[in-house]
């Protein structure tokens, strides 16, 4: 079975790019999705020869047949294709449901008694999508909306879901370990895994796209995401020492994201080397 030249995954339906003659999977078949060098060369020669330059297809709305719903249609199309938006919908829906049926919330959140985790192991997963307050939900979904898009665009939906879930479970484990070490009544304020998944997204991006700029909320100065992640890791270490158990989930999710990012980066380097050898 053919493998994608960009992500090195098996391509069930392989696509050959007409600009670089490489084989890609459906997620990376478009030139802009695999950073096509052949497209750049084609654009340069097209401008010199005054040819038509390839541009990605874009939906255009028309007012002739009635009112235009272009922005709404575009958002719904993105929601159907991108998992970062689906996860935002899922977390928001679960937040509403737990507000309507609070008596059942304990069946899906991580228990505050470490011993009970053996009786409710599924909560390591379900806690990823639960939030204990509006601002907790808002901040996490705000970060996911901007950085989830950046990550999913780079690695594809399959790997994005994988890192989100793995980092979330790591976050749940980190919270439980912090609870066992620092056990405190204030543990109810912890994220219990939800924020661990978000930090996993940031950690992966910090490795595969370290130059990406982030605007810090407290200090409106753009900094590179790798520096942003290091600063927050240091902050979480101090907060963990101060008894903020949710920071244990943040740190474990971040570590999972960084490890996953290096795994992707090493595979990408190997793929680029193989491509270079083939072209020699």
For residue 24, give the CATH number of its domain: 4.10.1110.10
Judge whether 72 lies within some domain. Answer: no
Judge whether 156 lies within some domain. Answer: yes
| Listed range (61-65, 66-70, 147-151, 245-249) with the worst mean pLDDT | 61-65
41 and 87 fall within a common domain: no
161 and 92 fall within a common domain: yes
87 and 179 fall within a common domain: yes
Judge whether 73 lies within some domain. Answer: no
- Whether 241 contacts 250, CB under 8 Å: no
The stretches of the chain forming alpha helices (DSSP H) are 37-49, 70-81, 83-100, 123-126, 134-143, 149-155, 157-182, 194-208, 225-241, 246-279
145 and 222 fall within a common domain: yes
Q: What's the CATH code of the domain at 106?
A: 1.20.1540.10
Judge whether 48 lies within some domain. Answer: yes
If we measure between CA atoms, which residue out of 112, 128, 108 comes closest to residue 120? 108
21 and 111 fall within a common domain: no
The 10s digit of each residue's pLDDT in 8-39 is 777 777 788 877 778 888 777 787 777 676 66
Q: What is the mean pLDDT of the chain?
A: 78
Average pLDDT of the residues in 208-227: 79
The 10s digit of each residue's pLDDT in 90-127 is 999 999 998 899 888 888 888 877 778 888 889 889 98
Interatomic CA distance for residues 113 and 181, integer angstroms: 12
93 and 175 fall within a common domain: yes
Task: Tell me which residue range forms the domain holding 27.
Answer: 1-59
146 and 258 fall within a common domain: yes
Average pLDDT of the residues in 236-247: 78
- Confidence at residue 70, expressed as pLDDT on a 0 to 100 scale: 53
111 and 247 fall within a common domain: yes
Average pLDDT of the residues in 120-148: 90
Q: Per the confidence metrics, is the pTM higher than 0.85? A: no
Residue 162 predicted with pLDDT over 90: yes
> What total of structural domains would you count in the chain?
2
């Amino acid at each position: 079975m053919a493998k994608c030249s960009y992500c090195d995954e098996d391509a069930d339906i392989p696509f050959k790019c007409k600009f670089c003659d490489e084989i890609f999977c459906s997620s990376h078949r478009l030139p802009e999705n695999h950073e096509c060098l052949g497209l750049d060369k084609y654009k340069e020669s097209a401008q010199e020869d005054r040819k038509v330059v390839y541009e990605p297809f874009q939906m255009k709305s028309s007012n002739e047949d009635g009112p235009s719903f272009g922005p709404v249609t575009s958002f719904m199309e993105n929601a159907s294709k991108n998992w970062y938006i689906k996860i935002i919908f899922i977390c928001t829906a679960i937040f509403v449901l737990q507000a309507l049926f609070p008596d059942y919330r304990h069946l899906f959140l991580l228990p505050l008694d470490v011993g009970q985790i053996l009786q409710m192991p599924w909560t390591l997963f379900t806690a990823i999508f639960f939030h204990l307050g509006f601002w907790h939900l808002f901040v996490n979904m705000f970060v996911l909306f901007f950085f989830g898009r950046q990550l999913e665009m780079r690695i594809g939906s399959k790997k994005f879901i994988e890192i989100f879930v793995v980092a979330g479970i790591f976050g749940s484990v980190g919270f439980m370990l912090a609870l066992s070490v620092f056990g405190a009544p204030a543990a109810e304020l912890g994220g219990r895994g939800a924020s661990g998944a978000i930090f996993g997204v940031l950690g992966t991006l910090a490795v595969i796209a370290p130059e990406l700029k982030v605007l810090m909320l407290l200090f409106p100065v753009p900094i590179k995401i790798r520096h942003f992640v290091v600063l927050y890791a240091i902050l979480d270490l101090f907060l963990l020492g101060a008894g903020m158990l949710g920071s244990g989930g943040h740190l474990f999710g971040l570590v999972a994201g960084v490890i996953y990012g290096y795994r992707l980066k090493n595979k990408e380097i190997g793929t680029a080397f193989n491509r270079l050898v083939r072209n020699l």
